[in-house]
Amino acid sequence: MRIILAPMEGLADVHLRRLITAQGSYDWVVSEFVRVVDRPYPDRVLHNICPELQQGGRTASGTPVRVQLLGNHLESMASNAQRAVQLGSYGIDINFGCPSKTVNRSMGGAVLLKEPDTLFRVVSAVRAALPKSVVVSAKMRLGFDDTALMLDNAAAIEAAGANELTVHARTKLQGYAPPAHWDELGKIRAHIKIPLIANGDICTVDDYHRCVAAAGTVDVMLGRGAVKLPTLANQIRANQSIEAQWSSIIPLLNSFWQDISLVLPPRDCVGRVKQWVNYLRQLHPEAETLWRSIREEKSSQNMNTLLAAMIH
């Protein structure tokens, strides 16, 4: 069993990655994507997306971090992959799953699922640029509008030399709407020989077992389920569902607030806390109470007072 923390653009930044991986049980984490254009980036761009590169390519608790690249410019994807690995990235992941309209208009992310040949060329370029010992992975969805090219896309990624494939069990059109279609992952598992990592709607230990049964793989990538329940990976490994105590979440929220307050503008800090609490309230009744008190809050000072009051 391998458990990976998913890349979640605008949500799982370095601060949340630090807190969630500190709870343990993750084999690695994938960074938010670096949007590659037609040139190699200076190191500061890679460091901005993945600050862990400045600490040996690992989170503070020692979990390896894999840089994710998004784009279709072959030379630039290759050169930026090389530099990311030189800076300490634990392999390279390629994003073929982002559903953002802005990204898709620029021929990046899920829109490339319409073109299996393009997937092949992008993965091939990155694979050829790196030593064989460096893992190249890709993350895709079941398709763009439908699943018609699902198996072709998976086969193209494998044929291009990827070491493993993560699949979010929805199409781009389905976005994040429930349910995740784990049964489709089973079809992909039967079609490729490289390891398959299942992703989508794994929020409980029971979800994990149902996904594994349908997908035919024990390897999973946890996304929003881990944001709602930071100990989810531990529970899956122990095969034991434990109701999270709000008292264990409070220190994490406070640590998150202290962390982001050092580097983000006050208004952004308030917004980030609201964002996380909005996810937490889906599992924790106490978070619902907190949400009601902060959802209209704009003052950093007031937010700091509210969070400090929870500690005492």
CATH code for the domain in which residue 153 is found: 3.20.20.70
Is residue 103 domain-shared with residue 222, that is, in the same domain?
yes
List 98, 203, 211, 269, catalytic entry: 98
Is residue 227 domain-shared with residue 284, that is, in the same domain?
no
Is residue 307 domain-shared with residue 203, that is, in the same domain?
no
The total number of structural domains in the chain stands at 2
Is residue 84 domain-shared with residue 169, that is, in the same domain?
yes
* In contact, 144 and 113? CB cutoff 8 Å: yes
Question: Distances from the Cα of 291 to the Cαs of 15, 76, 140, 227, 273, in angstroms?
Answer: 20, 43, 33, 16, 10
Is residue 165 domain-shared with residue 292, that is, in the same domain?
no
Burial of 154 (0-12, 13-18, 19+ CB in 10 A): buried
Burial of 301 (0-12, 13-18, 19+ CB in 10 A): exposed
Last residue of a domain, one of 238, 265, 280: 238
Q: What is the pLDDT along the chain (312 residues), one digit of tens a residue?
A: 999 999 999 899 999 999 999 998 999 999 999 999 999 999 999 999 999 999 999 999 999 999 999 999 999 999 999 999 999 999 999 999 999 999 998 889 999 999 999 999 999 999 999 999 999 999 999 999 999 999 999 999 999 999 999 999 999 999 999 999 999 999 999 999 999 999 999 999 999 999 999 999 999 999 999 999 999 999 999 999 887 789 999 999 999 999 999 999 999 999 999 999 999 999 899 999 999 989 898 999 999 888 888 865
Is residue 120 domain-shared with residue 165, that is, in the same domain?
yes
Angle between helices 266-280 and 285-294 (to 10 degrees): 150
Is residue 232 domain-shared with residue 250, that is, in the same domain?
no
Q: How far apart are CA 29 and CA 59, in angstroms?
A: 9
* Parent domain of 208: 3-238
Is residue 216 domain-shared with residue 254, that is, in the same domain?
no
CATH code for the domain in which residue 274 is found: 1.20.225
Last residue of a domain, one of 238, 269, 298: 238
Residue 306 has what pLDDT?
86
The pair of structure tokens assigned to 3 is: 């458990």
Is residue 155 domain-shared with residue 179, that is, in the same domain?
yes
Question: Is 98 among the residues known to form the active site?
Answer: yes
What DSSP state is assigned to residue 53?
Answer: G
Last residue of a domain, one of 189, 209, 238: 238
Residue 192 has what pLDDT?
98
Q: How far apart are CA 229 and CA 105, in angstroms?
A: 34
Is residue 152 domain-shared with residue 250, that is, in the same domain?
no
Q: Find the helix or strand (DSSP H, E) in which 244 lies.
A: none
Q: Find the helix or strand (DSSP H, E) in which 98 lies.
A: none
Residue 312 has what pLDDT?
59
Residues 6+ apart with CB under 8 A from 40: 76, 79, 80, 83
- The pTM score is 0.95
Question: Distances from the Cα of 285 to the Cαs of 46, 187, 253, 277, in angstroms?
Answer: 38, 38, 15, 11
Residues 6+ apart with CB under 8 A from 29: 4, 5, 12, 17, 21, 59, 63, 64, 65, 66
Residue 170 has what pLDDT?
97
Is residue 257 domain-shared with residue 234, that is, in the same domain?
no
Residue 310 has what pLDDT?
80
Is residue 16 domain-shared with residue 38, that is, in the same domain?
yes
